[in-house]
Structure 1
Amino acid sequence: MAEPVGTCANCGAATATSRRKHARYCSNACRQRAYRQRVNEPVTALDSFIGRDDELSCLTTLRDNRVLTLIGPAGVGKTRLAKEFTAGQGVVWVELASESNVVRACATALGVGEPALSALVCALADQTAVLVLDNCEHAVAECAALLEPLLLGCPGVRVIATSREPLRVPGEVLFAVRPLPLRRAVELFADRARANQLGLRIDNSEVLAALCARLDRLPLAIELAARLVTVLPVPELLARLDDRLELLNRGNRTAAERHQSLRAAIAWSYDRLSADEQHVLRCLAPLPGDFGLDVALAACDLPADRVLALLSALVAKSLLTFSGAGRFEQLESVRLYGRERAFAGDQPGVPAANLEAVPPRVGPRGETTKTADQ
């Protein structure tokens, strides 16, 4: 009587058997590939995950799409959501924030010796795998050039990407990661603030809600602000949010540089805009957070058709949102960054964090006021 045949834990093929047990993998290559997948899984987060249950539920229904891209503005939590969504799936995690050569990054993550597209296709042609391409916004063209031939040649491969703009490849499904609902934003701030100061009591829920709303309900901004409860009461912190780009600068030591401060996170997006896109963002900075097309056209000293094209580009890059009512919206933090760049004359090649000029304060109605030392 023939012995029962086992199944490879990596590819599902039949495995060899012995008298004692079935082999777990069909070949040494599958064993090594499974090991690399485990090595490249993102480390489980050490803090609590708050406020994204609805998004996780929705993402589950999109799990079978070949290309799923999580898009959203700086600091909204795309990477963290992707980690939670893919937890336990044995994915291959490809970090692109510090790497512009997408093929080389994928080859390294997969353990493919030759950093060439043909080698990747050959290695994955008969495999079932999930690639997570994290932080694609500075390499969207390279990602697109990789994905179409890779997906055509490797039917068992699926891709989950995080980016501030779409990859624009066939079959791509976009999932917009938006700022937290206000109630969840408040919950996140309270959780992180109490972690920074044990026993902290926050009695004024209205002040806390106002604080999170002013921070655009962005998880990064909220977590950076929560670190300041050791030196500032919440009402005082709220009063100082006009200076948030200077104030919110104490990120986790192990975080990527662009997540060390709110200014760095927004600069990562701004520095990747074209000169005309940067110009329009600066022109829009004096406007209130919600405005119509006519106001935008009046604010920008460019032909109307050019302005419309640039507004479309800023929407695609998650620096503006467009509502069904025909209104554009910009996050207050982005608007303050645009003011800072405009006030400094946007000196070429000088990061905003190094500018000696003090940016104007922005009042509650969007007006500009000078500080005492200006």
Structure 2
Amino acid sequence: MPSSSSLAGAQQPSPLRNRGFSLMLLASLAAFFGYALLLPVVPLWAVRQGAGAFAAGAATGVFMGSTVAAQFAVPAFVRRFGYRAGLLWGALLVGAPAPLLIVATSAPSILAISLVRGLGFGLLTVCGSALIAELLPTGSLARGAGLHGLAVGVPQLLGLSVGTAIAEHWAFPPVFLLATALPAVALVPTLLLPKVFPRYQRRGRGGLRSLAGATWAPWAVMLAVSTGFGALTTFLPIALENATAAAVALFLAPGAAMLTRWLAGQLGDRLSGPGRMLPAALAVSAAGLLGVAVWTAEPVLAVVAVTAFGAGFGVVQNDSLVTMFARSPAGQASMVWNVAFDAGTGLGAVAVGAIVSGTSFPVAFGLVAVSAFALLPVAIRARHPR
């Protein structure tokens, strides 16, 4: 039987894997700009081309739909080619098609480009978050997830607001070109990554049933809050009818999410077990969504509500991911978590676009808030280990 000291040593990452984790963070930082810059800009571009609110929502919906489709295929992809190849292809597919939007003025062409870019984003999201658990010891997962949250949060903090501001005050083409250049930078740290393959993956129907049974509660909470995120990032510049307020809100929301995700990571390994923070975080996010519904006509109060939503969202992101890591293998947990994130983002865009077509933005945001509040019992259930 190995000694306790040897077991402790086995839990420590090698220098190569420490370096690999840092390189993964750098690659994620650069590549996620290609996603964040265009998330609110492509729907706005679709509206300016005369495609309407439904097409604006469909642009995000198609992007996230292809993202989710790719995410289901990532475990098989990385078993054969490894995580480095996944990050490389992800950065290429997210960034390279972006300049084509300059000449894409019809709804079908915008949706086609969104579909291709979504495939790349699916590779980026699953490979990046899976590498947290593949490269770090168990006792550092919450902190690692918090650091990864900073790496993917900075692009959202800057990209969502900067992309909208550039498009509104200058022009759309510079945003599209910037969304190509920054993911290209991610290729350098990605090529320096070590070859990492999944340590363990479940296969077959039994494995998938077991995975669903282990992760459905944190998955549902993550889905509910990411639905609100998709609704806000897609329609806030349109709903507020105030470009400055929308830009400020799209800066503060991811900023709050990035900060609270990092804080949740610091607390998660020290003071709390996986899932302990989910109920309170879900309640804060739902309250923020309700505030947006009530104060759509009040830009300052709407910004406050969006910021509150972001604060809750950051904690939900970190705690739900760590909860899934505790219940399932890294690659599968990453896939499930990212599906919840991105399916919810797409669902929020499409659902709100459809609801707004027949009602109003306050009604649409209010319904999303109510659906989040309804999942509080599920968030409480997620606190208990399986």
Structure with bigger gyration radius:
1
Please give the range of the TM-score, normalised by the shorter of the 2 chains. under 0.3
Write 1 or 2 for the structure with the bigger share of strand: 1
TM-score, normalised via structure 1 length: 0.22
Query: Which structure has more RCO (C-alpha within 8 Å, separation ≥ 6)?
Result: 2
TM-score, normalised via structure 2 length: 0.21
